[in-house]
A and B are shown apart, each in its own frame.
Chain A
Amino acid sequence: MSDRVTNTGYDEWLDALAAGEGFYLESPEGHGSLPPRRVCPHSGSTDLSEEPLPDVGAVETFTVVHVAPPSFAGEAPYVTAVADFGPVRITGVLVDVEPADEEIPVGLEVEVDVATHGEDDERAVVLRPV
């Protein structure tokens, strides 16, 4: 893919996460979602405001991936997790843990960050135990 391919809204959200200024979009009904969005996926509202992301989330579910796609070649086993941050859930690579079921408790408290991986230094959302 060309360097010119960008994902406006999402890329800026990653920048904000990396700067410790993570945010989510809130509808007047109080539903949370992540950018880029013009419409709340829960309420249908188009009146979305940026709100600061809670600092700490809890791992709701995870998997230790043993068969990786080419974009994660050579990185297996690694852990992908979905963490509940209250108004939104965030999916990320769970780092700084042993990639083994018995080493990772559901409910583990994590913070969100951005890290690069692979030959192309692709950015990915990461979750790190606090």
Chain B
Amino acid sequence: MADARVAGVGLTHFGSHPERTGRDLFAEAALRAFEDAGVPREDVDQLNYGNYMGSITENQGHQAPLMAEAAGLRCPATRYEEACASAGVAVREAVRTVRAGQADVVLAGGMERMSHLDTDDVTAGLSTASDDLFEVRAGMTFPGAYALMARAYFEEYGGTKTDLANVAVKNHANAVPNEYAQYRTEISVEQALDAPDVATPLGLYDACPITDGASAVVVVSAEYAAEHDVDAPVRVRGTGQGTDNMALQDRAHLARTPAADDAAEMAYADAGIGPDDVDVAEVHDCFTIAEVLATESLGFFEPGEGIDAAREGVTTADGDLPINLSGGLKAKGHPVGATGGSQIAELTRLLRGDHPNSEHVADAEVGVAHNAGGTVASAVVHVLEVAE
């Protein structure tokens, strides 16, 4: 099996860019990734492109060839859609393709445009990641779904809105030095608690923003990197994916995310490591409660104990296990179909030492990325490590 490496990464600024086309956003990220990798575009064997709802929001389906053209590629191109885990799946399939020896160079990433829509149209678009018949028709919104999980968590394990506010405060603080982040402003627990309700018990500051942006990751075989004198210091050591019943009502647990448990178990087994070996993680905090659930599924905390971590400083920048040093979806932003690639890009920068927050994890060797789709009916986990 070939050794899959990250040769380079590229991001656009995450934020409100309603005037920009999707193809321009993705082209910017892709060209930046090629420059970062030092890999010529003509060497790309395949494009794996993540996008969630462009067919609805941009009246643009069939986006993979469009994005290949925009990035200057002429190679097999496929769109991956797994809601908010679209780009995570695109990266995972890139890794599997390279490992299988089917390609030397795959560009993986994604793009989403959201800010040109009204909030209620975004709400409607995001809700299509839930079960139309059994959830959406009962008024379940995307924040509403995570609110149902948050209350179930509080009921089963305890926890308060203040605990969740500490997650938001932490991630906002982490985003301040990140040039790609949407919200580079610190917030206080009081501000978070005073924010308007979106879907109780979650308020506005528990939720990620509406974001435009794109991500791109150049995945290469170690052999290709050696032959072409390409610097690819980060290895993808493990990959895993899990699936659960679509509707919350059919899940084994309302206060846990079994699909992410499965993805983590698969990724750790693939990497031959365990949660104790992880130095830093980027996890899917579309809502504050989602970070808590993610860190428990990744085995960093027992079920019911993850909610204390941010408040106690365990997961802050200077804590034992920094979580979402990029600012996370919460503060860096969440262009849905791009997020999984962005997490890999941020983790790569953190491990290489060229992220503005790398100083907090100067000795880190192993990082984990956790990307979830919908209410975690889909989950993708990757283990990255410093190879050289």
Chain A interfacial positions (CB closer than 8 Å to B): 7, 10, 33-34, 41-42, 60-73, 75, 78, 80-82, 88-93, 101, 106, 122-125
Question: Could you list 7 A-B pairs, sorted by A, with CB under 8 Å?
Answer: A63-B201, A67-B143, A70-B123, A75-B139, A80-B139, A91-B134, A93-B138
Q: Are A90's CB and B249's CB within 8 A? A: yes
Q: Are B139's CB and A65's CB within 8 A? A: yes
- B148 interface residue (CB < 8 Å to A): yes
The answer to whether residues A68 and B249 also contact, given A62-B151, A63-B200, A80-B148 and a CB cut-off of 8 A, is no
- B69 interface residue (CB < 8 Å to A): no
Q: Are A68's CB and B141's CB within 8 A? A: yes
Instruction: Scan residues 235-249 of chain B and give those whose CB is less than 8 A from a CB of chain A.
Output: 245, 247-249
A-facing mask of B169-189, CB < 8 A → 1, else 0?
000000000000000000000
Determine the chain A residues whose CB is within 8 A of the CB of B121 once the complex forms: 70
**Distance between B122 CB and nearest chain A CB, rounded to angstroms:** 9
The answer to whether residues A106 and B196 also contact, given A63-B147, A67-B141, A124-B138 and a CB cut-off of 8 A, is no
Q: Are B140's CB and A80's CB within 8 A? A: yes
Please report the C-alpha to C-alpha distance between residue A1 and residue B151 in the assembled complex, in whole angstroms.
34
Closest to A101 in B: B200
A-facing mask of B97-134, CB < 8 A → 1, else 0?
00000000000000000000001110110010000011
Determine the chain B residues whose CB is within 8 A of the CB of A88 once the complex forms: 249
Please report the C-alpha to C-alpha distance between residue A69 and residue B143 in the assembled complex, in whole angstroms.
11
- B144 interface residue (CB < 8 Å to A): yes
Chain B: how many interface residues by the 8 Å CB criterion? 36
- B137 interface residue (CB < 8 Å to A): yes
Chain B interfacial positions (CB closer than 8 Å to A): 119-121, 123-124, 127, 133-141, 143-144, 147-149, 151-152, 155, 196-202, 245, 247-250, 254
The answer to whether residues A82 and B141 also contact, given A61-B151, A106-B155 and a CB cut-off of 8 A, is no
Q: Are B200's CB and A61's CB within 8 A? A: no
**Distance between A15 CB and nearest chain B CB, rounded to angstroms:** 14
Determine the chain A residues whose CB is within 8 A of the CB of B138 once the complex forms: 80, 91-93, 124-125
**Cβ-defined partner of A89 (8 Å) among B155, B202, B249:** B249
Determine the chain B residues whose CB is within 8 A of the CB of A41 once the complex forms: 245, 250
Determine the chain A residues whose CB is within 8 A of the CB of B151 once the complex forms: 61-63, 106
Closest to B251 in A: A89
